[in-house]
Amino acid sequence: MSALTEAPRPKAVLVGVQLSGVSDADQRSSLKELKRLCETLGFEVVGEVTQKRQGLGAATLLGKGKLGELAAWTGGSGIVPKGPPGKKKATEDEEEEDETEPPQAPTGEPRATVVVIDHELSPRQLRNIERATSAAEVLDRTGVIIEIFHRHASSRPARLQVEIARLTYVAPRLRETGGGERARGGIGMRGAGESAVELDRRKIRDRISELKAELAAIDDESKTRRARRQEALRVALVGYTNAGKSSLMRALTGSHVLVADKLFATLDTTVRALWPETRPRILVSDTVGFIKKLPHDLVASFRSTLDEALEASLLLQIVDAADPAFRAQMQVTREVLNEIGAGDVPWLLVLNKIDKVAQPDREALVKEFPAALLVSAKDPADVGRVREAIIGTFEADMTDAELVVPYDAGSAIGEIHKVHVISESYEGDGVHYRVRAPKAAIDRIRAMLR
């Protein structure tokens, strides 16, 4: 589609509250990340409204003045009408305020139709902001992330997992729906009074139960596939979203994994063999990226996806070293890994996109992270160093063994050739092998020879 016929993107204004203890740099980083999330959704961000406050408990999140500033972007009144939605009568105070001119949009700036909040808010807070701004849509950070996952999930398991999280997020927001008004949060359902809301919530609970049952059946199949790979050496690439995991995956395995400069480009686990192949074979998996303030329902619903990290023999924590906030992103990754029980899995730190880092900063990174690999996924030599580090890590845990296999033990011979054979000779009592492999693989082959 040409630029002349492309449909205009919805315009969004961002809202952030800087709480005590949050630095200016962290606040800027959070809003920058929210802007990228919005761009991933297809929004055009046209403005920001920020305020320093002690907490997020206010009915409209913002103070009166800042709420008016926000309303200026959307053409709203900046006032939350009292009473249920649609009630026309106002108090005397409201009538006085209504006599004033509504806030005007900033001069020369396009009017926004979407308000995006950099926090997770209650349904009532979202409704109050919606009524004060007259925005077509108000989304909090959780809603944005869930909507991205909903749009981009491709495999059946990922779609089921996202839908469970999405319905779980939307269900409580139906309580805030007035007669005939559309429930916000991206679901597009309607309620007509309390009985209709209760009916909708019951339908959602039933639907979640159906989705969980279907997902459980798929998980059983996935566990069977993983069991077949149980003795394979497995590496899981983990890290913050857009850290370059898919680019490195593609370079390590020679596969055509999707690579895109956007958040959450990968939502489905991809498993490929390290290339050129090794003996024993090493499998590499690319996992969904992490992000701060990741909704807990998504962490729970994507547990089966993240099981690749839990069951891996080695984790490669990929970090975008060119991002000023990468240290905080590393912390988020470790917290999520601990949450799913993968905190004790051996791991290597890979500082990616080093080609975008100035030389003095590179030297500082070497001193700060002496055990890390500083690489660019675009540099074949750097990718080779990562490959050798993976192989070296596994070889350190391998052991050498002598095995004598009778000539009629064909199945055992087949298994032996899946590991690294150092030497073999044909003697009167069978084939004499010297192999290097994980202890579990050697024990399994010996059990076949009994």
In the structure, what pLDDT confidence band is assigned to residue 1 with cuts at 50, 70 and 90?
A: very low
pLDDT in tens, 413-428: 888 888 888 899 999 8
The more confidently predicted of residues 97 and 279 is: 279
pLDDT at 100 over 60: no
* Chain centroid offset of residue 113 CA: 26
Residue 106 confidence (pLDDT): 56
The per-residue pLDDT for range 317-328, each reduced to its tens digit, is 999 999 988 998
CATH superfamily for domain 11-149: GTPase HflX, N-terminal domain (3.40.50.11060)
The pLDDT of residue 348 = 96
Q: Compute φ and ψ for 171, nearest 5 degrees.
A: -50, -50
**Do 11-149 and 230-396 fold alike per CATH?**
yes
The answer to whether 47 and 55 are in contact (CB under 8 A) is no
What pLDDT sits at residue 399? 86
Report the alpha-carbon distance of residue 182 to residue 176 in Å, rounded.
Answer: 10
Q: Higher model confidence: residue 74 or residue 97? A: 74
What pLDDT, in 10s, does the model give residues 180-190? 444 444 444 44
- The more confident residue out of 134 and 108 is 134
pLDDT digits (tens, 9 = 90+) for 25-73: 889 989 999 998 999 888 999 999 999 999 888 899 999 999 999 999 9
Q: Is the pLDDT of residue 177 over 90?
A: no
Instruction: Identify the bridge partners of residue 18 per DSSP, sorted by sequence position.
Output: 52
435 to 137, 282, 283, 418: CA distances (angstroms): 63, 16, 20, 10
What is the pLDDT averaged over residues 290-315?
Answer: 71
5-14, 71-80, 225-234: which has the minimum mean pLDDT?
225-234
Among 53-62, 303-312, 356-365, 427-436, which is the least confidently predicted range? 303-312
Which residue, among 114, 110, 108, 111, has the nearest Cα to 126 in the 3D structure?
A: 114
pLDDT of residue 264: 60
Second CATH level (architecture) for the domain 230-396:
3-Layer(aba) Sandwich (3.40)
Residue 225 has pLDDT above 80, yes or no: no
For the chain, the average pLDDT equals: 81
| Interval 187-209: pLDDT, tens | 444 444 455 777 888 899 999 99
Q: What pLDDT was estimated at residue 439?
A: 82
pLDDT at residue 6, rounded to an integer: 62
Distance CA 450, CA 440 (A): 16
SS3 for 60-72 is CCCCHHHHHHHHH
Q: Beta partners for 444?
A: none
| Higher per-residue confidence, 40 vs 293 | 40
Average pLDDT over residues 228-244: 80
Residue % of the chain over a pLDDT of 90: 34
* Confidence grade of residue 95 (pLDDT, cut at 50, 70, 90): very low
Q: Tell me what pLDDT residue 374 has.
A: 97
Three-state secondary structure string covering the chain: CCCCCCCCCCEEEEEEEEECCCCHHHHHHHHHHHHHHHHHHCCEEEEEEEEEECCCCCCCCCCHHHHHHHHHHHCCCCCCCCCCCCCCCCCHHHHHHHHCCCCCCCCCCCCCCEEEECCCCCHHHHHHHHHHHCCCEEEEHHHHHHHHHHHHCCCHHHHHHHHHHHHHHHHHHHHHCCCCCECCCCCCCECCCHHHHHHHHHHHHHHHHHHHHHHHHHHHHHHHHHHHCCCCEEEEEEEECCCCHHHHHHHHHCCCCCCCCCCCCCCCCEEEECCCCCCCCEEEEECCCECCCCCHHHHHHCHHHHHHHHCCCEEEEEEECCCCCHHHHHHHHHHHHHHCCCCCCCEEEEEECHHHCCHHHHHHHHHHCCCCEECCCCCHHHHHHHHHHHHHHHHHCEEEEEEEECCCCHHHHHHHCCCEEEEEEEECCEEEEEEEEEHHHHHHHHHHCC
Give the pLDDT confidence score for residue 184 in this predicted structure.
Answer: 46
The better pLDDT of the pair 200, 385 is held by 385
What's the rounded mean pLDDT across residues 379-391?
A: 96
pLDDT of residue 161: 83
- Is the pLDDT reported for residue 132 higher than 80? yes
Domain residue spans of the chain? 11-149, 154-221, 230-396, 399-448
